[in-house]
Every structure is written in C-alpha cells, then in structure tokens.
Structure 1
C-alpha cells in the first residue's frame, strides 16, 4: 500500500490523500452537531484535522495510534494549515503490516547513536568525583534504561516531541550547562551536570512512545519529575554520594520547571537549580522556534500564533557571514589539480 501524501507537503487550498497515524483525537460540539478534532502525523510532522457532522457520526471511537487513510481539503484556520476530512477509514491489519512504521514516527534530525555516544563521552570526561561517576555509569550500564532513553520523546507536543527528542534535549542542556559552568566558576559543576543529565529522565516512564505517544497511567498520576527521582533511588543508594549531594540532585530535578504553576515541586533554591531551570527553558523555547521557522521554509517572515509562547515570532533577515579564506595549502592543491586537467 502506498503512503500517499506526507504532512510536510500539505499546502492550503490543496487536495490531500494519504495514510496517517492518529496521535490525538477528541470530540467536540458545534452548532450543526458533534465533530472530531484530530492530529494526524507521519515522519514529516503533524497537522490538525476536523471531521464535521454528519461524517463524524460514522466514528464511534478513534483511538490514538490508529493508522487511517484520510482524504480531504487543506485550508488555513487562524494562520495554520488544517485538513477538513471528507473521507476516512481505518487500515486493515494486512494493510498495516505492509507499511513501514518508520514512515509514521517523527524522529530527531540527528543520528541517535551519535548523540548517545557524544553524551556518554562527555559524562566520562566531566564526572571525576567517584560517587558521581559511579551513579552515572551504573545508570547507563542498564541496557533497558539506555535503550528507552535513546528513543524516548521529550514531550507530547510542545518541544522535541519525536523519537530521540529526550536524548537530543538532554545533550543540548548538558552542553549548555557545561558552558555556563565554565563562565560561572562558583557553580558546583558536577552537581549541575548531573542535574542536566537526569532532569527529564522520568519521561521514559511518563510517555508510551510509538505511534500514539500518549501518557502512561503513572505518567498521568505521578508525572516525570516524581518518576525521575524514584528511578534514581536504587542507583543513588549504591553510589556512595553524600546525603547532601543526593539531596541537591533531587532538588535539581524537583525544581527544574522553575515555578510551581508550571509543575515544579519546589522553587529553585540553589544557584545550580536556577541555572538548570534557565538552561532547560532556553533549549525548549529555541526548539519551538526551530519548529515554527521550519514550517515557514526559508527566508524571513512571521510565524502563526504559538499558544505555548503566547505570541507570534518574526524571523529576521540574517547578518551576512564573511566566508573564511580557503587555506593556502588546500588552494594550492586545487590549483595544481586544475593545471593537470588542462
């Protein structure tokens, strides 16, 4: 079975037909009857879709993770592309088996193995205190935890919401905290980096991953912050870390959302906790910017309204970069080769 149209190719005022994964589905009520609001996704991204009445009445339930063939018309709604579904059906087991699931799983643009190798190499370089080093290396020696961390998304929809997103985000926050620790020598470098490494680790139990990428039961009831602290407990017990350093790491995890109304269990109350919060927030915000600018294509302009940021964003023309002069040795070699061709 052919995949058909990809999300990235959907343009306003165009006809659409293709296989998509349903990542979110919710019912609503309009003046002319009930309707379905869906998010249809594939490896290239996601698009909001509406099934209006009376077609909506044909679907008693639409489960996240379902694969569907959907046809309809794309239009602009509040400056964002939206698909009005005119026909839709669920794929049969045989049709699903004939498809490559990778075509429906958005993934990090960076190689997962390369990012994991880089992160572990940085950990071996940075953690010199024996108990910190034992904690980190013992955790990543667990093949199940390492494999789950490698592919886990960092979110359901706001930032890094794709396979490998948690690894990508963690690596970025870790490297950002390294730079900040270089600049601010009063920071406890190894405690800060341990917080950067483990701050979102509970997400490997908060999210299901896969086509649905939904919250697990423990994810809904406990959340990734509490889950992350619980996951570390047995490793902390064997690490030999002092009680004060164990408490500090837990505080870094519990407070990294910064404000109680944004999910922090405690406000950041150490210099390292403040640093981690701002590094985490900066990487998440810039990831949202990248996603919005990518939807625009190249060139300057304004993005659609982004509710999670509470604003639209403007992509300004970039300052021209001066090209680095070609190394003399390389230039001479190129000149010699050109003479040989004459």
Structure 2
C-alpha cells in the first residue's frame, strides 16, 4: 500500500446531509456484519473535528476482506442522515499504509489549540530570555535543534489519556511548566532560575519515546519497559557528555530534577525532591497537569451547561465551575477586537 497524499479540505464537523465527500480521513473503527444482502462494513472515520459512522454495503464490501483501524483512507461517497445523525455512504475507499511525510497530523487527531511550531518557538524564547550561563544555553539549543528530537516533540502527546493527550500536548505541557517555574522564580528569587528552566524543558522529554502517538497513542515497548524518566535521561546523556563546559554540579542537579519530578515513589518517582528547585518543578508539573484535566472537563460541561462534572477518577472528585468575577476590561478588549474596521471617508 502507498502512503496518503493530498491536503485535507473537508472536515467532519461541517458535513451536512446530501453533501458529496472526497477527502482523507483516519479510519478509527472497522467491524464486519452480515445482512440479508451479504456482508457489510460498519466504519468510523475521524478527523480533528470529530467522528462519523460509515457503511460499505455488499457487494462493494467484498473488495475489502480486511480493514485495520489506525490507517488513513480516502473516502468517496455522500452524507446521509440516519436517526438524526450524519452517516457516510461509501462508494469508494482507498486505504493507505501511513501518512505521507509532511502531513499535518493535527488535521486528523485532537491537537493543541496553539500550533506546535509556535509552542516550540515560545520555549526557545524562554531559553534566550533566561539562560545567561552560556553552557546552559548551548545545551538547551543543541537538544531542541536536534532533528530527531525536534520532530518527535512537535507531534508528541503529553500523556496516554489523562492530560494533554493530543498532538502537541507534550510541548504545550512543557511550556506551561517552564512558564510557571519562571514565574515562581520571581516570587522566590533565591531559586536557581537557569537550572530550573533546563529541568522544566527536559523533565518529560522521554515521553516522546514512551508513547506512540497517533490514533492508538499507546505505550511503546521501551515505554513499558523503562518509563519516560529513564528514557529521557538516556536521550540527554550524550548531549551532557558533549558539553564539557557545563559544570558537573549543574549536570548532577539537572539529573535530580528530572528523576524526582513525580514527587513520590508511589507516583513513579525514582527519588523524592531534595532541592528547592526540585520541589518547584514537581509542583509546577502537577499543577499544569491537573489544570489541563479540569479545562477538558469544563469543555465537556460547556456542551450541556452543567456546573458540576461527572466523578473524575484521576482527580478523585467532581469539579465545579464557579461564577467568575466580572471583568469589564476583558469585555472591552473583546468588543474592540470584534469591531469592524471600515475605511474612513475622504
């Protein structure tokens, strides 16, 4: 099978009954069933905006003896309405073994609201702004500019399911943790700002190898066997070895920040935090993850107008959306941004 080609232009969220469809989707589900006219396929297609069910009826279904979820497909057909829900009647479907190089995965999978390239640039800006010790700056830039590492970071999710579990999620989480750490350095000026920033940038680096990403977003073999903390240390070690001007004590502290950022042994931390910077990184990491979980709960609650979430297993509680304090300045800014700017008459 070939790899998919072409740029996506039709999105599931905007499809309407009677509309012709000819575009790329991700095959998210496939199971075969039997009707009086022969076997048929029940399919689920996915893109970044949602999912839609589809059918391939007999005898066309016989052209597809096996269909495996997780591959890109080009679907030609049209949209039907079935029980007040959109459904795709598939006339032709081309199945590909994978996405072509350069394909924007955020077209097909849930993704960060901010493009990963923008997140990466913001992370690099923090290095420029806060790294005054040249060996620290050199290390961070060499790691972030490494071709393999950069490519993985730009698509990696932040977790399998719990928080930031979408394309660009790892970078979004890393940037959030780094910004929180820098803000706390303003409150506690005795903190080692530069070592803390390096720890924040690299604390979850191993997740880019721990998780497969894509539709499955499952743990890789090395992820299951070693975990992201050890994987991250293995990826960093060659860079640290080639950075002789970085003091050994700073290298030691960076390794401690990474290996202790989960905080407690029961949460998968090989060691517990033993420096002020390690405590700050642990709490910033925990805070950013939990607030993302709550943000996702709020997004679901917005669809129904609920003020309480269902019970959330990872937080061990329901969460409540309180009434916000009125912010007139925010309303005025929003009004100004939405005003139509018309040319002045001469």
Pair 1:262–1:46, CA change in 2 (3 A): farther
Q: How far does residue 170 in structure 1 lie from its aligned partner after superposition?
A: 0.6
State yes or no: 1:106 paired with 2:110: yes
**Alpha-carbon separation, structure 1, partners of 2:140 and 2:47:** 34
Q: Secondary structure at the match of 1:136?
A: helix
State yes or no: 1:264 paired with 2:266: no
Q: Equivalent residues in 2 for 1:75-154 (5 A)?
A: 93=95, 102-154=106-158
Equivalent pairs, count: 288
Q: Equivalent residues in 2 for 1:292-307 (5 A)?
A: 292-297=297-302, 301-307=307-313
Q: How far does residue 102 in structure 1 lie from its aligned partner after superposition?
A: 4.7
**TM-score, with length taken from structure 2:** 0.70
Partner of 2:289: 284
Q: CA RMSD in A?
A: 4.2
Q: Equivalent residues in 2 for 1:218-297 (5 A)?
A: 218-239=222-243, 240-297=245-302
Contact 2:26 2:70 in 1 (8 A): no
**Alpha-carbon separation, structure 2, partners of 1:325 and 1:103:** 32
Pair 1:281–1:323, CA change in 2 (3 A): same
Q: How far does residue 44 in structure 1 lie from its aligned partner after superposition?
A: 3.9
Contact 2:28 2:46 in 1 (8 A): yes
Deviations 1:168-224 (A, max 9, x none): 111111111000011101211111111001000011111111222111111110010
Contact 2:11 2:49 in 1 (8 A): no
**Alpha-carbon separation, structure 1, partners of 2:208 and 2:260:** 19
State yes or no: 1:195 paired with 2:191: no
Contact 1:154 1:165 in 2 (8 A): yes
Contact 2:262 2:282 in 1 (8 A): yes
Q: Secondary structure at the match of 1:115?
A: helix
**Alpha-carbon separation, structure 2, partners of 1:264 and 1:225:** 8
Partner of 2:320: 314
**Alpha-carbon separation, structure 1, partners of 2:302 and 2:124:** 34
- Structure 1's unaligned 5+ residue stretches are 10-18, 26-38, 48-60, 75-90
Contact 1:43 1:105 in 2 (8 A): yes
Q: Secondary structure at the match of 1:156?
A: coil
**TM-score, with length taken from structure 1:** 0.71
Partner of 1:155: 159
Deviations 1:35-76 (A, max 9, x none): xxxx996424699xxxxxxxxxxxxx997636799xxx99xx
Q: How far does residue 143 in structure 1 lie from its aligned partner after superposition?
A: 1.7
Contact 2:158 2:170 in 1 (8 A): yes
Q: How far does residue 20 in structure 1 lie from its aligned partner after superposition?
A: 6.4
**Alpha-carbon separation, structure 1, partners of 2:246 and 2:213:** 33
**Alpha-carbon separation, structure 1, partners of 2:27 and 2:172:** 23
Pair 1:219–1:40, CA change in 2 (3 A): farther
- Structure 2's unaligned 5+ residue stretches are 1-7, 16-24, 31-43, 53-65, 76-81, 84-92
Pick from 165, 172, 175: which aligns with 1:168? 172
Contact 2:120 2:154 in 1 (8 A): yes
**Alpha-carbon separation, structure 2, partners of 1:126 and 1:183:** 15
Q: How far does residue 101 in structure 1 lie from its aligned partner after superposition?
A: 6.2
Contact 1:21 1:104 in 2 (8 A): no
